[in-house]
Amino acid sequence: MTGLSDSFQRPINYLRVAVTDRCNLRCVYCMPEEGVKWMSHSDILSYEELLTIIRASAELGISKIRITGGEPLVRLGITNFVRGIAQIPGIEDIAMTTNAIFLAKNAAELKKAGLHRVNVSLDTLKPERFKKICRGVDQGGDINNVLVGIKTAQEIGLNPVKINVVVMAGVNDDEILDFARKTVEEGWHVRFIELMPFTGHDGETPSGLTTRELKHRIDPLGKMEPYKHQWGNGPAKYYKLPDAKGTIGFISALSEHFCFSCSRLRLTADGKLRPCLMSETMIDLREPLRGGISGDKLKELIQLAVTAKPMEHHLSEGNKPNDRPFCQVGG
């Protein structure tokens, strides 16, 4: 294992792997109400192809994998896929981001297969508002599915279960204190995320709040102290309220961007390796894989993606990727 570093000497050890672009929800900041045109089955990488890429990445120095979508739990066979990742030498951490609609019935098997942690996307604690934000379809319209999924994951040890909250002005910003109190009363690990501009949603998307504004809203609950955590590899900065068992994290992609410490690559469900979430640059791995590329040549393509990683995004300048909907980028 040689270790990966990009052109700016940032170590790259984290790969986010999208297993599908499909989702049972239609969240207002992610896609239009009518949804998007799904990728065809033949366009999506098979689990065997995904594992081939992960093995090659691990041999280069990737040690952390996060499974994303769309919604990863809508794809059949996901537990066996997790088991396959867990058997790859060099992989030290396997996590998943999910909307938790199907988490309760899958959590135990996922844990047994080798999954370490889950992040749950939950933007409100109010049942009717949940339906409005996620435009609940299938089994996704009931917030109780999510809450039971969170509780189940906590009970079986997929910890810490992190709750990701995208804060939107005039939509759910009146619940900031409610989520913050959960860290004191129930030991939740809540992460407030600045809303990022992206193509693929519709005109409903509101404006977000900055981390500074979020912290100001939480002030009435007491002084937050910085918290040094021992888990994960993400960009959040963590704090604890007085007497809280849980934590509050802030992901400030816009107001306090963390590009200088970014350690990740993203693999889309159709096999495009993306060096940066907010860049349209992608290296195609699917066609070379299906053309019989050797392991060494595959590693060269992965290294090419690392080399192409930009110094930072340019969202503050009004530049945002418009090549595909957010649900098809891989988180």
Reported in sequence order, the residue ranges of the chain that DSSP labels E, i.e. its strands, are 4-5, 11-12, 14-18, 64-68, 93-98, 117-121, 162-167, 189-194, 225-226, 237-240, 247-251, 264-267, 272-274, 283-284
54/17 Cα distance (integer angstroms): 9
Find where tokens 């599915």 sit: 145
pLDDT greater than 80 at residue 82: yes
140/122 Cα distance (integer angstroms): 12
Name the pLDDT band for 281 (thresholds 50, 70, 90): confident
User: Residue 28 has what pLDDT?
Assistant: 81
CA-based radius of gyration for the chain:
19
What is the percentage of the chain residues whose pLDDT exceeds 90? 66
Range of weakest confidence among 1-5, 41-45, 182-186, 264-268: 1-5
Pairing of strands 14-18, 11-12: unpaired
Question: For the chain, how many residues are written?
Answer: 331
DSSP letter for 39, please: P
- pLDDT (tens digit per residue) in 103-143: 999 999 999 999 999 999 999 999 999 998 887 655 557 89
164 by DSSP, 3-state: which?
strand
User: Residue 177 has what pLDDT?
Assistant: 98
Name the token pair of 203: 């005109």
- pLDDT (tens digit per residue) in 310-322: 876 545 555 555 5
Whether 177 and 217 have beta carbons less than 8 Å apart is answered as yes
pLDDT greater than 50 at residue 199: no
CATH fold of 4-161+260-328 = TIM Barrel (3.20.20)
235/250 Cα distance (integer angstroms): 8
pLDDT greater than 80 at residue 323: no
The structural domains of the chain, with segments of one domain joined by +, span: 4-161+260-328
Range of weakest confidence among 37-46, 50-59, 63-72, 189-198: 189-198
24/205 Cα distance (integer angstroms): 19
Whether 117 and 234 have beta carbons less than 8 Å apart is answered as no
295 by DSSP, 3-state: which?
helix
pLDDT greater than 50 at residue 269: yes
Neighbours of 266 (CB within 10 A): 22
175 by DSSP, 3-state: which?
helix
User: Residue 200 has what pLDDT?
Assistant: 46
Whether 248 and 180 have beta carbons less than 8 Å apart is answered as yes
Global pTM? 0.90
The alpha helices in the chain, defined as continuous H runs, are 47-60, 78-86, 103-113, 127-134, 143-156, 176-185, 211-218, 286-290, 295-307
Name the token pair of 308: 């192409």
206/89 Cα distance (integer angstroms): 44
Find where tokens 């079986």 sit: 156
Q: Classify each residue of 69-86 as buried b or exposed e, where b means 16 or more C-beta atoms within 10 Å of its C-beta.
A: bbbbbbbeebbebbbbbe
192/190 Cα distance (integer angstroms): 7
User: Residue 197 has what pLDDT?
Assistant: 64
221 by DSSP, 3-state: which?
helix
44/18 Cα distance (integer angstroms): 10
Phi/psi of residue 303, each to 5°? -65, -35
User: Residue 295 has what pLDDT?
Assistant: 96
Residue 273 contacts by C-beta under 8 Å, 6 or more apart in sequence?
A: 53, 265, 266, 267, 282, 283, 284, 285, 301, 302, 305
